[in-house]
Amino acid sequence: MIEMNCNGCVFSKKDNDKQYGCSLDRIQKLGVSREDDNGYLVLNRFCNTYRPDRWIEKLSLDEQINKETSVLKEVEPRMGFLVYFDLEKENPLLWLEKTLMDIRDQVDIKARYIIVANKKVEYNEEIFNILNKFFPSGVKHHIVQLASDFENENLIIDECSKHFLNGWLYVAKSGFNVDRQLIKTLHNKINFEMKTVSVILPTHDGVNGLLFQTSLFKYLNGNLKRRIDEEHFDNRPFLEKVKDLDNGNCIFTWSDIYEA
């Protein structure tokens, strides 16, 4: 079991040489296994907001005064988006703009990068112009030219995986409605409610709404063959591999995420 010691963290609260709390209100959510010899609490889980005194020294005066806000800003989800350019729709570029607008207008926390997967090269220039219009600076974007039709749409994710950055990736087809509070909602779920989210399953519309940690996708080699040892391989899709690793609280549906 992973343990995390609060000893030396600037957010720990002590009284009479004993820790009694956390200014980020994380103690009960992470769970306490014991108290160490110095009166600090040892948590049952990793805490991504542990910060030593030297962290404070690097902050501006305003950031020091509002250190809780500062650290929560640092742990906001780094979200990338993969959009399949759906050529089966009438006026496909308009549908692409619709989905990209939802991504551009995320509330409070912005997208980190955008990938558009396109199977017809003649659309690339117009897609590139749309990306530049919607994301003029600060957000990286890529167009992946698909070499085949990919009857299994999940394999398009693997085709685009070389552009994935550490953090999260959300998958949608052009025309799909992306919640404009998506990243903010995930931030609340993992950094306030302290849920251990690894994957959120897609909606009933195939790949739409699939969200996952990119490190996990790479570790399992996505939907491709994963070598276990010299004689054994795992040929299952990504989501089936993930289910074997799940301890019962890491895979969510969107109804779980938006529950009251």
* Cα separation, 116 vs 96, whole angstroms: 9
pLDDT at 138 (0 to 100): 83
pLDDT in tens, 160-217: 999 999 999 999 999 999 999 999 999 999 999 999 999 999 987 789 999 999 999 9
Q: Are residues 26 and 53 in the same domain?
A: yes
Question: Of 43, 74, 105, which residue sits at a domain end?
Answer: 74
The set of residues, in sequence order, having a beta carbon less than 8 Å from that of 85 and lying 6+ positions away, is 92, 96, 116, 117, 118, 119, 123, 127, 174
Average pLDDT of 35-58? 94
Domain count of the fold of the chain: 2
Whole-model pTM: value is: 0.92
pLDDT at 161 (0 to 100): 96
Question: Of 52, 74, 96, which residue sits at a domain end?
Answer: 74
Residue 158 contacts residue 127 (beta carbons within 8 Å): no
Q: Are residues 31 and 130 in the same domain?
A: no
Q: Which residues form the domain of 232?
A: 79-257
Q: Are residues 148 and 203 in the same domain?
A: yes
| Maximum Cα–Cα distance across the chain | 70
What's the burial of 216, exposed, middle or buried (CB within 10 Å: 0-12/13-18/19+)? middle
